[in-house]
Amino acid sequence: MLDEDTVRRWRWASQRLAPRDDSGDPAALVRGLAAVQSQDPGAAGLALRVRGSGFTAADVERARVDARALVRTRAHRDTLHLLATEDAGWMVRLLAPPLLAARRRSRGGALGLDDNTAEAGLRALREALADGPQTQATLAERLAARGLDLGGSRLTHLVSTAALEGWICDGPDVGRQRTSVLLADWVDVGEGPGGDAATSELARRHLAGHGPAEPRDLAAWSGMPVRDARAAYARLGAAITEVATAFGPRWVLAGTHAIGPARGSTVRLLAAFDTYLLGYRDRSEAVPAPHTRAVNAGGLRVLPAVAVDGVVVGTWQLKRRRATAAVEVAPFATLDRALLGDEVDDLGRFLGTPTSLA
């Protein structure tokens, strides 16, 4: 039976946290993890930085905007994610139907958005984006000129609905503002698997980047029903292997083995909303119970965390100044500053900004 420490270290390795991926390719990292949460775009880059080497924050954005090897759109749990371009079409088609149904049920309440207005808004949105990427503010002006009352959260609702329907995604950022663009004008996502094959492939990809895991982890990470996750595991059959752990049965891809660094050897500055914490139903294996609220800062927010070999030992934040930056750490107990030196230096390299430990 695998003990708690072994499970953590195995996950640590599956998630490319030790050893880091040395391909220098952020898109390859996203493929390996299957998806990277990106409602905070800066945090998505930091989640890749902590797992890879040989690229910078600017390289991550070039992979999305210039090479277009990555797509930022709504997918897992109705949340913005970075996806490899070839995965964006089939993953959104797989995960969107129940999310769209929930949106249809809710939009008439607090949003006051009737079906006719919603359909007219989506048509107008498609026509407006035919002219290229546009910010939310520009879209609001253009739709208002058509006499559509889409103030408050209604336009945001329609834009995100269109993303789940699979015909828009994020375009190039304008300063700190996101833009929307017609997906077909931006990239060719291809076909990819469908139906049961898509569910099974998502399960396989989740295990490749998060194992050991179980169907409830897949469901929590993706937003799919647990029954579908269990069915996907069953279809994978001999492609996956069950392992006994202190937490109950977990699964890994067949042919993989428990590996990981020696205890106390690897410190990582995990990003906000990091998939090491969001990739599982229960994060208590990584976050000691007394510190759960320190990491889950109310609502759905998951703070940047300091972790040593898979155990979260504190939180951190980046304080930017004019030409420098500082990492401020709030440890749960005494933490040797020397352990953080390499991580802080690498963060500065990634950002292209001299960074110190405050």
Asked if the model's pLDDT at residue 111 lies above 80, the reply is: no
CA distance 331 to 322: 26
Identify the CA nearest to 179 among candidates 214, 123, 230, 140.
140
Listing DSSP states for 271-308 in one string gives PTT-HHHHSSS--TTTS-GGGHHHHB-STT-B--EEEE
CA distance 30 to 47: 10
57-66, long-range: CB within 8 Å, 24+ apart, which pairs? 57/350, 57/351, 57/352, 58/352, 59/26, 60/26, 61/173, 63/25, 63/26, 63/27, 65/171, 65/172, 65/173
Q: Are strands 36-37 and 80-84 parallel, antiparallel or unpaired?
A: antiparallel
User: Angle 68-279-252 (CA atoms, 0-180°, nearest 5)?
Assistant: 100
Q: In this prediction, what percent of the chain has a pLDDT beyond 70?
A: 96
pLDDT tens digits for range 39-49: 898 999 999 99
Helix (H), strand (E) at residue 109: none
Helix (H), strand (E) at residue 111: none
Asked if the model's pLDDT at residue 283 lies above 60, the reply is: yes
Asked if the model's pLDDT at residue 260 lies above 60, the reply is: no
pLDDT tens digits for range 201-249: 999 999 999 999 999 999 999 999 999 999 999 999 999 999 999 989 9
Under the banding of pLDDT at 50, 70 and 90, the label for residue 147 is confident
- pLDDT, average across residues 106-131: 85
pLDDT at site 16: 95
- pLDDT, average across residues 5-30: 94
Under the banding of pLDDT at 50, 70 and 90, the label for residue 118 is confident
Under the banding of pLDDT at 50, 70 and 90, the label for residue 106 is confident
Listing DSSP states for 18-41 in one string gives SSPB-S--HHHHHHHHS-EE-SSH
DSSP summary character for residue 67: S
Asked if the model's pLDDT at residue 261 lies above 70, the reply is: no
Asked if the model's pLDDT at residue 297 lies above 90, the reply is: no
Under the banding of pLDDT at 50, 70 and 90, the label for residue 262 is low
Under the banding of pLDDT at 50, 70 and 90, the label for residue 298 is low
Task: State the average pLDDT for the chain.
Answer: 93
pLDDT tens digits for range 51-105: 999 999 999 999 999 999 999 999 999 999 999 999 999 999 999 999 999 888 8
Higher pLDDT residue, 29 or 284?
A: 29
pLDDT at site 115: 84
* Count, residues in the chain: 358
Sorted by where each begins, the domain ranges of the chain are: 1-265, 267-357
pLDDT at site 259: 67
- pLDDT, average across residues 316-338: 94
Under the banding of pLDDT at 50, 70 and 90, the label for residue 263 is low
Q: Are strands 355-357 and 325-331 parallel, antiparallel or unpaired?
A: parallel
